[in-house]
Structure 1
Amino acid sequence: MISHNKINYHLTEIGYVIVIWVVASLLISYTKVNDMSSDSIAAVYHLQADMTKGKLYSFVIFIAITAGLIMGILHSFVYPKMIRSRNHLLNATVRIFIFACLIVLMLLGLSLIYSEPQAGTYKFLALPNIALEQVFVFPILTEIAAGTILTLRRNLGQNYFSNFVRNAYFTPRDEERVFLFIDLKDSTPMVERLGNSAFSNLIQDCFRYLAKITLDCGGELYQYVGDEAVISWKIGENFKYLDCVLLHFTLRDVLQGKKDEFLRKYGQVPEFRTSIHRGIVSTALVGEYKTEIAYHGAVLNLTSRLQVLCKNHQAEVVVSEAFYRASSKELDRFEIKRLENVELKGISNLQNAYTLFLPERKKTKKNPYPWKIYKGHI
């Protein structure tokens, strides 16, 4: 079962591609026929006699939506897996084949509007030269534009474009957010044993699973810092604090489910420590030559400092007093230990914190991960 957040993510991505194809198709059609009357379009471009401007635009939109839907599905579900396979020859071959099929589809579509079915003539191979040129050049340029937009969206964050268009963070604004810092345990000896390259491969594998789980849990991947990741949630109405905590335990279960693979490749199964805090931060778009949406405030500092409590108290997850007060009703399945008047480096006031422990439950074939509520990321 795919989560609601993951469905929204993929639908939005496909929607971006469809919009790009429709806008590009209408733009090129507009430049060709806008100054012409409907009566003259058929004569000038050798179209069907009853082809009006309205019919032409409708047909263009239909073809663009069809092409955009196909390419959107490929960009969202097929191409990412091909890239991870690292077989560049196969990747290029499949993309060329798919693109060739798409061009054939467009040629078939054009043949319909350049044909005269009443006379029994279908001009698939007798299209005007300008149409043949455009049918090869136009899809390539449109595909480059769609690929660029999706790459930027994935690199900058799924909400970057919507925030940019809305001019949301050009002026700093305060937001109430949850921040989660998740850090690899015993990373230094792991690097020394594996070496830099193998360790980087391990981090790639872990963070690939983490990204999928974060999407399921409705979070936003804010930063990767070495072997640590920072994840954020904007707190809104009916916000589910439990999702923030379950992210850690779901990742733990997924990594344990991949135990044989990690042992074969790296000789051990990675484990992570997590700290969680909530509060008010200032959100702003920063940078000139490289821009990003950044969060500022004491909330991030305290979340980072809570990491040391995981190590000192042998805990997987530590949450702040503020987070616990907001989420305590949702944490009844956890064993909770209160840490009172804790002194943290860089924090002036003594803090209260809580360690969360998830009791073991019997695993079955139907329910291999008893506490996991999200599916589809293994």
Structure 2
Amino acid sequence: MAHKKSHPTALHEKDGIEQPEIVSSDSVAQIRQYRRQQPTSEQLIAGILSGDKIALSRAITLIESTSTTHLEKANEIIKACLPYANKSVRVGITGVPGVGKSTFIEAFGKYLTGLGKKVAVLAVDPSSSISHGSILGDKTRMEELVKDENAYIRPSASGESLGGVARKTRETIILCEACGFDTILIETVGVGQSETAVHSMVDFFLLLNLAGAGDELQGIKRGIMEMADAIVINKADGDNIKRARLAKTEYNRALHLFPMKNSGWSPKVTTCSALTQEGIPDVWNTIEEYFTLTRENGYFHQKRKEQNQYWLLETINEQLKQNFYNHPDIQILLEENKKAVQNNEISPFAAAKLLLDNYFK
């Protein structure tokens, strides 16, 4: 009986062609060796003050680290950079998801570098509450700005910090200023508690909006609009121009209902298209007007002092919380009390008092 000749199936894998060696093994070894070498605090400080973006990125990574060793090194770098900071303008940019924040920031950033500004973009990406991961895709979305020599983009994961503002954004601002960046743009993760935190670390707060977004946002608009120093109606192009102009009129009317700001500034509404660049210069002109006014009346420097005080108290709160949960005795006691609370053997308030009393012994 003749045997049938077996034929390979469609899933049969053929031997591939071996690829030539295109990367030098010596180069790979050198890169690996370089990565293993951790630069000293002095080297990073010198790099930052000379405008080296790589040194800046490495220092920011230390700031964001939860390692005690890294924290000591980061504090040393911040202290050395502090005398060279506070020479920039800080602009917070927020808006609902889909408003075009990344596209606007890229167009705005390119316009500013065109004026000779050095722009640092600190973009905070939301972390998943389930996997704790972040996409950190802002460099991909801002592909033109990321190639600009006078721009620096740093996406950071929000972690578990309030409202999605990265835990160490404020320290990052100091390093960026010491590195020579005179305009800091801070992008929030969207509408929520993060706006309050960003508002407390910037000089100017910009709210991006869309025309015809509907009334579903009215509940959050009041709080956000009271903080905003300017409202920009984005995507004012094509068929949307008429709607954008109408929205501008409506927002102008709404702003008149709010009380006068302590800065003496009357918030302005403008339209722009990040796609066509139309209206981008007007946005910067509005920001410059604000800075001229607040520097003359002293509000600019007064606000900076108040922000420093606010962040002193916030840092104390954060440090106390971190020390409490990392205390070995408290960790054991906490697990015991969690079970006791779940079984209704002790009330949550009594358990909390017990834990705090033990911590402050």
Q: Normalised by the shorter chain, which TM-score bucket?
A: under 0.3
Query: Hey, which of these two has a bigger chunk of strand by percent?
Result: 1
Query: TM-score, length-normalised on structure 2?
Result: 0.25
TM-score by length of 1: 0.24
